[in-house]
Amino acid sequence: MKQLPLFLFIILFTNAFSQDIIVDNSKTYSSSNQYAKFDRYTKHGGHGNYDIQSRDRITLPSNFPILGATFTLEAMTFTADTSTGLHQKVIGTENWKGNYSSTSPNITFLNKNEIFYGFSSNGGDVMRQIRNVRKPNTWHHVAFTYDGDKGRLYVDGVQVDSTTNPTKWSGKVPDAVSLSFIGARFRGKLDEVRVWDVVRTEAEIKANMDSLQDVNSDGLVAYYSMDTDENFNIVDRSPNKHHATIDHAEIMQDLYSDNCQEPNGTVDCPYPDILSALEAAEGGQTILIKEGRYSDLVFAEYINHSP
């Protein structure tokens, strides 16, 4: 875990300057949505440290269905990575060091705002890399479809890429490798993760980015809106009930109040926890924490990272 020097300034709000970021856990917020937050803090120790233990992720059940020659993967995604963050798995199997010779259909984020998508077939990778289709610190909906002929990538409901090599893609069937993880080695937030065994159209993808209204939709294999059950497992809202297990990832909430669309560190809309303030702070800003009891456990890396 990255060790961060933490300096806490306890003051009254009347002394705060406009550029300061304020934390106050006595502020009452309501929640509108849940999402999963991932941090790659166990990666420290060098590029060769690929041990999967204690890494944030959501583990899919071992009997998760194997996808065939038609499918759709989609998710709401948020990451701050720009110059760092190779092989961040939105959804797929956990295989690193650039080896995709035995992988399920997957969506993977690379550095410099790139997206890597595809699968393996007959032990060879059928993958495609597209650059500059996402922005840091921004929620994006990302979807990957395959119809047995072409792969297509959609960002925010708009097609941004399709495969152009029929020899490599057309007629290929993914290897019998089951999807196993959501968010493995990911640094950011994920929500609205869905797996289909049919090809969703651009119109269907765009109309259902924020939420899926019909959980009985044709071809829906699994739907994770990051709601949890009494055992703190991630609930699959599809009829198939492929509930998933949380491994170290955090389930967070979108917060709001009558006068705040969301916490933003101001006097009226303070952050309720220290980590949110640390992640939002920029050079020259001071984090001011209102007096009170804070039991925050902070896991973070690349705080205030400059790309």
- Report which of residues 184 and 233 the model is more confident about: 233
pLDDT of residue 100: 81
β-sheet bridge partners, residue 34? 253
Q: Using an 8 Å Cβ cutoff, are 70 and 199 in contact? A: yes
Name which residue leads in pLDDT, 270 or 1. Answer: 270
What is the DSSP code (8-state) at residue 148? S
The residues, ordered by sequence, that sit 6+ positions from 285 with a Cβ below 8 Å of its Cβ are 19, 20, 21
3 or 68: whose pLDDT is higher?
68
- Provide the pLDDT confidence category of residue 39 given band limits of 50, 70 and 90: confident
The pairing of strands 106-110 and 181-182 is: unpaired
Q: What SS3 class is residue 289?
A: strand
The rounded percent of the chain whose pLDDT value lies above 90 is 64
DSSP 59-99: EPPTTPPPP-SSEEEEEEEEE--SS--TTEEEEE----TT-
Task: Give the β-pairing of 158-162 and 151-155.
Answer: antiparallel
| The pLDDT value given to residue 11 | 42
Q: What residue ranges of the chain are covered by domains with CATH 2.60.120.200?
A: 33-253
Q: Which fold has domain 33-253?
A: Jelly Rolls (2.60.120)
Q: What is the pLDDT of residues 247-294, one digit of tens each?
A: 989 899 999 999 999 999 999 999 999 988 988 888 788 999 998 898
| Surface-to-core class of residue 281, CB atoms within 10 Å of its CB (0-12 exposed, 13-18 middle, 19+ buried) | middle
What confidence score (pLDDT) does residue 302 get?
61
Q: pLDDT tens across 44-95, in order?
A: 434 454 555 557 899 999 999 999 999 999 999 998 766 566 688 999 997 6
Q: Give CA–CA dist 119/98, Å, rounded.
A: 13
Q: CA 284, 289, 18 angle in degrees (round to 5)?
A: 45
Residue 289 buriedness (CB in 10 A; 0-12 / 13-18 / 19+) = buried
At residue 110, does pLDDT exceed 60?
Answer: yes
